[in-house]
Amino acid sequence: MNSILRPLLLASAIASLAACSSGNDAAQREATAPATSTPADSAAASTNPLLAEWETPFGAPPFEQIRTEHFVEAFEQGMAEQRAEIAAITGQIEPPTLTNTLDALERSGRRLARVGAVFSNLAGTNSTPELQAVQSEMAPRLAAFTSELLTDQALFARMRELHESSEGAASEEQRRALERWHSRFVRAGAALDDTARARVAAIDQRMATLTTQFSQNNLRDTDAWQLVLESDEDLAGLPQWLREGMAQSGRQRGLDGKFVVTLQRSSVEPFLSFSQRRDLREQVYTGFIMRGDNDNAFDNNAIAAETVALRAERAALMGFHSHADFVISENMARTPQAAMDLMLRVWEPALARAKEERADMQAIIDGADKGFQLAPWDWAFYAEQVRRERFDLDQDEIKPYFEIDRITEAAFYVANRLFAITVTENRELPVYHPTVRGYEVRDAAGELVGLFYTDFFARPGKRSGAWMSSFRGQHKLDESVRPIVINALNVVQAPEGQPTLLSYDEASTLFHEFGHALHGLLSDVTYPSLAGTAVSRDYVEFPAQIYEHWLDTPYILERFARHHETNAPMPVELKERLIASRSFNGGFRTVEFLASGLVDMALHQLDAEQARDLDVRAFERRVLDEAGLIPEIAMRHRSTHFGHIFAGGYSAGYYSYLWSEVLDADGFQAFEDTGDIFDPATAERLLRYVYSAGNTRPPMEAWMNFRGAEPSVEALLRNRGFLPAGGGES
């Protein structure tokens, strides 16, 4: 499951820091320095680029100048500056106003936000032992600093007075900003007594350390594992494009001439789909599923258990029954029960379909007299056999039509048709790795919308998965500050001089993440804290997931799915088979996702007493047994490598992808109902109420303004293949 998961690998420390430093990356306009400076600051700035003005195109980070040793000094100065800025707010004798309190708070911490954004992005994409050491040092310090600011009683008193007074009713966006800030203070513990507030702060610091350890263990356990193949027998069944990618992985690891399978999903999934060596499939599957659960130095069981217990304790201190109740109270779902109801509504038909899929594959095994029962490491391989039999379709036939640059162009084209923006590469923009590319994004009048970076290829030191993040957020508080956004994928890069070809799922992921990128790039709000993707967790996936639908359309496939050698369009009959196969294996894909969602929700519905002495492995197994999960399918993300919930922002929120899919399936139907997938009126509503609106409205209100009716789960069930096209539930 793709994800917006920004690589905030200072984890809860940086994530919380963003909330108290002018929004999630809100910082400089084009090459502007922080307002607060002294002669000592100037001396530091002369040697530390993070403390200097950035004389780069459009104020992009000067990556080539930044060294690991610059970060601690820059973090420390950023914290000192924001302390002074907060003290200036609370030291006023004048009553609180929007200008002297809300606006001043939104302006504070810009240097700290800038440093945090650069650090977290580099830590996620180009991690080194030295960067990891900085993470470990700074995570608890930044968490303590965040708690200090968000529980500052003088600052909270001023914000509470504004929130409750008529002064806070000047405009819709100001009311929303006040409401969100007040909630942020309360949820940080500002309204608690001294003892409880101190305990919440201690928990936050400890969880920041645990989150950092979890993510670093995950990265190290992933990077430490490899399967080296050499003989033709080892490579049996593997298509040429996969062999070339594995050879590239070998070269990256200093194993020239050898073929290497890594634990990146982009390496694992195709190997499991094509390798004829059942013993090797078992090795790869086991390595992948056991990440973080190997009783070694990188084991995450104890970290996950302690994190769950601390979250439960924190929720109790805040007056909630469980962490899930605490988290979801601010989401569209409102209650854990509503989220569970949605997952269980989909679980039963998905599980039934998965059992049918299992039977189809077992029939192939039995028909060939193989003499074994389908195992988890067999599923992808035999699913591919069924796909070929049912749709006469295989990856070798599809991938030549999905060259990565052409699919990137397709994503940009859709944005141009919907929102009249153009995306143009600028090779003068500084980058932090040779494979990273930078782009200017401009509107129909030629005005800069923002900068966009792509970092698409897997490599050692880069965390797994796909995500969107920002180096700078949008706002218009004092002047128009344009965003700098990045998309990261983990595609296996083709050898030099050869095109990188994508699977259809990888192409969908590229579209998904660019949907997130547009949510950041097209943001058009005043306050940094409300900009872009700063929305509830079960709404943030909607702009990304609806964007995937355009790739599925015959129009886009006709225009961009062209053979990388001949430029010939995909044959009509192949295109039809591809579209028809989209719901194939839907039972498996839905069940593996929901298995993770159910465990996430069950873990975080434990109260403080229940969470004590938690055995994560046993709990995970019990939840899945009670749900009736068949043994041939595992969780998409087992708890010990479940970065979404233990190193990201999705704790008690993994259900959000399914919730958002209800929205995106119904939302794209709005375009289809017009007969034009680029219908201007519908696109204008999508831009106004979704992509540009940030968190200026509650998510259900934003949805209703766009769609005009409450979302329907039927479109989701139909898209997943659990309802007939055009039909309702029976």
- Retrieve residue 509's tokens: 């992921």
CA 126 – CA 120 distance, rounded (Å): 10
Kind and range of the H or E run holding 163: helix 153-164
371 backbone φψ class: left, alpha, beta (φ>0; ψ -120 to 50): left
Question: CA dihedral defined by 62, 65, 68, 70, rounded to 10 degrees?
Answer: -90
Kind and range of the H or E run holding 472: strand 467-472
CA 521 – CA 518 distance, rounded (Å): 5
Single out the catalytic residue among 244, 384, 403, 513: 513
**Of the candidates 437, 466, 467, the residue with the CA atom closest to the CA atom of residue 452:** 437
Which distant-in-sequence residues (6+ apart) come within 8 Å of 12 by Cβ?
139, 143, 204, 207, 208, 211
**Of the candidates 388, 409, 468, 522, the residue with the CA atom closest to the CA atom of residue 649:** 468
Strands (E), 319-375: none
Under DSSP, is residue 423 helix (H, G, I), strand (E, B) or coil? strand
**Catalytic residue list contains 513:** yes
CA 111 – CA 80 distance, rounded (Å): 10
Kind and range of the H or E run holding 439: strand 437-442
What number of CA atoms fall less than 13 Å from residue 310's CA on the CB side? 21
CA 273 – CA 620 distance, rounded (Å): 26
- Retrieve residue 501's tokens: 């070809």
Kind and range of the H or E run holding 250: helix 240-252
Are 137 and 123 contacting, i.e. CB atoms less than 8 angstroms apart?
no
CA 215 – CA 6 distance, rounded (Å): 13
A 10 A CB-CB count for 373 gives: 12
Distance of CA 547 to the CA centre of its chain: 15
Phi, then psi, of 722 in degrees rounded to 5: -100, -5
Q: What angle do CA 210, 211, 214 make, to 5 degrees?
A: 85
Are 499 and 404 contacting, i.e. CB atoms less than 8 angstroms apart?
yes
CA 154 – CA 105 distance, rounded (Å): 13
Are 104 and 96 contacting, i.e. CB atoms less than 8 angstroms apart?
no
- Burial class of 428 by CB neighbour count within 10 A (0 to 12, 13 to 18, 19+): exposed
**Of the candidates 545, 548, 658, 542, the residue with the CA atom closest to the CA atom of residue 600:** 658
- Beta bridge partners, 698, equal none
Radius of gyration, alpha carbons of the chain: 25
Are 511 and 562 contacting, i.e. CB atoms less than 8 angstroms apart?
no
- Retrieve residue 229's tokens: 């193949």
User: Could you give the maximum distance between any two Cα atoms of the chain, in Å?
Assistant: 85
Active site residues: 513
